[in-house]
């Protein structure tokens, strides 16, 4: 696959919510501790890979928190 040229540096995904969840990922940007601390040392390709991982972590969290649909319609009893 051909590598795409990058004209602008990859911006940090930090949202200013710097708290770790139970798995050690930031609740704001979904980066691991190492990914947050080493962001400035990473190449643009490494940063893009971290951003891809962050999107996957966000989607996994959204799927886990999504309520399951009720099995039966919630119709009130007529009796």
76 lies in some domain: no
| Local confidence band at 77 (pLDDT 50, 70, 90 cut-offs) | low
72 lies in some domain: no
Give the rounded distance of the alpha carbon of 34 from its chain centre: 15
71 lies in some domain: no
Supply the range of the domain harboring residue 45.
17-65
Dump pLDDT digits (tens) for 1-59. 455 565 678 899 999 998 999 999 999 999 999 999 999 999 999 999 999 999 999 99
49 lies in some domain: yes
Sign of torsion over alpha carbons 23, 15, 39, 8: positive
Predicted pLDDT of residue 66? 80
Question: Could you give the number of structural domains in the chain?
Answer: 1
5 lies in some domain: no
- Asked whether 48 and 10 are in contact (CB, 8 A), the reply is yes
3 lies in some domain: no
56 lies in some domain: yes
């Amino acid at each position: 696959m051909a590598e795409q040229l990058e004209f602008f540096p990859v911006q940090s995904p930090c949202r200013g919510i710097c708290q770790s969840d139970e798995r050690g990922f930031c609740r704001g940007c979904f980066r691991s501790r190492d990914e947050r601390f080493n962001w400035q040392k990473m190449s643009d390709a490494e940063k893009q890979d971290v951003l891809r991982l962050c999107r996957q972590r966000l989607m996994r969290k959204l799927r886990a928190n999504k309520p399951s649909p009720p099995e039966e319609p919630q119709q009130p009893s007529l009796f």
